[in-house]
Structure 1
Amino acid sequence: MAATFEPEVLLFTDGACSGNPGPGGWAFILRHPSTGKEMEKSGGERDTTNNRMELMAVIQGLQTLSRACSIELFTDSVYVGKGMTEWMPKWKKNNWQRKEGKQWKPVKNDDLWKQLDEQLQKHRVKYTRVAGHSGHPENDRVDELAVAAYQPYR
């Protein structure tokens, strides 16, 4: 019998950048369906990339949780989703290196991937891809928050 996944917490994340690299922002919404409690949080950086902000949104959301949880992560970032589900196991096995042609190179953003890996060891996370800018209310809201978070750095 297949194990079922009942998320205790829903995590909606997004990252945004004005230029890539450029000023960037990240945001998340954490929702606890059984209590109805919800939290929004965002932050920004002066000089970063979109991929770093996408990762930061997930890391910040997971770090906010005070105990291990089952989480359904909703993100429009294929980079984060494929990284978590496909690439990270290979990177870890190869000491955070990736093959580029015939050479081994350090994984880009390995500092953040390692932080995400640490959080993934604490929690049970299911990745669900959301189409960006498609009228998904929570995805639209985290996009709005992420864009607002980098405005002071423009």
Structure 2
Amino acid sequence: MTAFGRTAYRIFVFMLGIWTGAGIHDSLTNHFAWHADPAAYANRPTLPGMFSPWPFTTLLLLIATIAAGIVLWRYRGAGRRDALAAIGGTALILVATLAWFVPELGRMFGEPPMTGTELIAHSRTWIALNAVRIVALIALFYLALLALGRIAGADRQPGPRE
């Protein structure tokens, strides 16, 4: 694999790790309160200067996934199958995120936010499906790391002392 290809795949693994870790952190810090009282969560005040980093990290992961997918599609060495599985699984999760998770948040917490039993039902479904998404991301990150080790091992050239 070329140096560019290795770098593109490493950036993908790095961004997948950041996105997965951020998802775990965000879920643990918010979802218990959200699940306990969706209406209070929807009406919580936003602090001045606060913004969501999710659009930026999601875009970076999307770009890294596409670039790594293009590079790995042409690669024929060790780790290819696992790397493509990690990239493909991540792409599916990104599609689900952009097609359902993000629009559903807009419906629940947009203007005006949902209220009552509809908000409770939508919130609990979102939280449960997000937990499944997080578990899948952990598995994909592990698979991506395994592939990275195999790719790095296959590309390693013996030095003069070996």
State the TM bucket, normalised to the shorter chain.
under 0.3
Task: Provide the TM-score with structure 2 as the length reference.
Answer: 0.23
Structure with bigger strand share is 1
Structure with bigger helix share is 2
Higher RCO structure (Cα 8 Å, ≥6 apart) = 2
